[in-house]
Structure 1
Amino acid sequence: MSERVVPGREGGLVALAAADSMWTALTAGSAMPASSAVFTGCSPGARLGRQVMLGTCVVELVRAGDGRWSVPETEVRRAAVAWNAVEIDALDLVRIGPFRGAPERERTGGTLQRWRESISRQLHQPDHPGRSGRRESGLRSHLAGIDWQRLLVEQCRDGAERSWWLPRAVVRQLDAAEHRETRLLHTLQAQASTPDTDQPSHDPKPRGVDSRPPAGADTPTVLPRPYTGELKGQLYSVLSRKPGMSRTVAGWMCAVCATASAAVLDHCHEHGYVRAPVCLSCNTLERPDHLYGNDIRVAGRYLRLFETDKVDWLRHWHRCPGCRTRTTLPLPHLAAWTAHTASRALRPTHSGARGRKPCGVLRVSWTGSQNAPRSCLLTVSVDFCPFGEHRVLARVSYREAVDGFRAWLAEIAPNVAAEAGPDSLDGLPVQSRPVIADASGEGLALF
């Protein structure tokens, strides 16, 4: 059978307008409705570089010989095959919002970042005409090519606040696409921050002006000094107000990796104590990956925190007198440890090219607060599992998680465990200052 000719195709590349027409034809019979103008509706070279998300697939934009932007036809067809394979059960719905009290997070760019909040903003607009698509701050009204307006279900029971729901299969596609886009963004940001040695540097000084110091001038280089506990037991709220503290911090080496200059003061958000000066890389690695205030995605970086470099990180976390005295971790870190380590044997696996591979992405949420241990419950689940999304693996009480951590700490890092214990309560404040809100209500539930 001869292949249908696609207008605008040249050398395996398809012009954006022709690619939109082809995409519409290829997904016409799909259970998941596709938006139109998925290629022409986005600007090349935007925040995602030159990629377009179509479901969980990424299609690269390339510049053809005539200078116009195009896409490889094979990539469009590959994305369409994955798109058409999605099966949707219209009765299997997942709540996507609104969620009261969800903390604001810094926006890092991209189309799918926080897709639930994007949908919520569009539906909250007073002039939003029902479920029709409209552009929002330059972003496409669709998400990853999905025409979500045609699938959205609005519920309002007994005069209560309305809620919005999408089929589970669509939520799964959007979650996976957001996760894929986030990884793309991190890759692009890392590439942008890496200096290109092949390109000449742009010197802000005028040409002909020699910026080098005169010969024989004494220009000593001040190297950062190792951190030896100078800030031990001090409160971050006090130190952060001192003038010149940023210069003082920059004078230390990172207390974790000891390979880069410190840039920030890492501190315990539950007890308020300074741990140590760290570099930006270690500070980012140490920060829990919050989805909401009481919900953490346990990503691959926890391999370092609780496996390869666990002793260094345990020593760092226990620089906080509150955590050291109570022989535990801050609640988000304890929850991540429980999901990553204590529930490892419960995580399902699937066969792959290189043996069996752990399924999906771990997620842990909690209700209650560490200040009320009897009411605090950790729920460990797995997302993106092909045989049951959001499968609950375990429910662990706070006291059980703390007891398990103490036994693990004594085995993994006995020197750190020996310094901990209830023998130095005198230096702790009478009232701890947690920053984790009590999320015992259903308002902060993820779904």
Structure 2
Amino acid sequence: MPGLRQHGHVFFGDIAVRCYRHKVRWMYDERDIRAAGRAFVELQLDLDDVVDVQLPPYRDIPERDPEECHRPDWRRRLVSWMVDRARNKLLREERPYEEWGAWRDIGPNGLPGDLTWKEFVTSSSRARHLQNIAGTRPLQLMAWSGETWLLPRAYAELLGRWEQRESELTARARLCSCGAQGPYWGGWRRYNTRTGYVTMCPPCAGEACQLYTGHLRGVLYDALRRLSTRADDYLCRLCNESPATAWDHCHEHGYVRGPLCGSCNTREGTGLPHCFLRLEGAALHLLECRGCLEQRTLPRRFHTSVVRAHLEQTERHGRCSRQPYAREVEHEHGVHRFQLECSGWHASRWTKDVTASEVAALVRAFVDTALVAGDGRPSPGDATGAG
């Protein structure tokens, strides 16, 4: 239900059904559902009255305007599906890229490369949640005439009305109460635990929320829950733009770190550790946990990222000046084995073993560097003097 964040509605064809948050659950109004059902019953779909779909040529995302990338366009979405499936077919066949040829060129069957209609439909069925437009499944109605793709006229007109309605709702949802307009894809859409999503620009969010001053540092999360202190009264202490939605806490020591918005909390909990550590203030935020601070460590899930970044900054293939790529390939008997790959002129691959004590020393050095820097912007590889 991606529309919830974007504009608070879910589409059934060209009908937008508004969603409501009630007691931590998202709900529909039954009257809206019944109205949508009646509209579908009245839709006259003549399979003999068809129109040329007129699919546009494929364009890579870097070639497109950022606004265009997210603007509803059902024709461009169909083209993207076709190209993605053609690319996935070549990847599954493990053919070298040099042998792909003009794989994006449209073949005699209307599909790119040598993709067949059966392969297209079969691969699409494996990701059905990605193969719908406006709550409908267009592949079941498409037909190839030998020269162009066809769809029933009534259905193509329905998708056109969906594009217009989706654009209108998104444009309205981009407006903050002060009148300022935010980025197209929900840049100012903030999740509020009381009302669901609201649109709020950073200045308005700063005025509406309190700044967290660290007054809960050293408090256990379980004790905080008993106090019923609300996180959404505060501004996210990482991005400093969105109202917080949850109290972030250390799962290893149990101490509260501070209030985070939904996006920052997700990055910390389930996002890529090395990406989170690059965020401004991320390392110091993790050290808001009294246990981590006293032990000069980080949660275990971040240890590998610290070591990996350190190896990439210090290891080199002979006299090559290129920074290699490192990844952990094995962890056994307390030893972490990393594989490093250099993409220089003389490409090479080698391994590096790091013991548990060396990992602890690297993490401690990284923590010390973060505390000395004080601005929350140390690189994960800044663990000099360790190992």
**Same structural fold, with TM-score higher than 0.5 when normalized by the shorter chain:** no
Name whichever structure is richer in helix by fraction.
2
Query: Which TM-score bucket, shorter chain as reference?
Result: 0.3 to 0.5
Q: Name the TM-score, length of structure 2 as normaliser.
A: 0.42
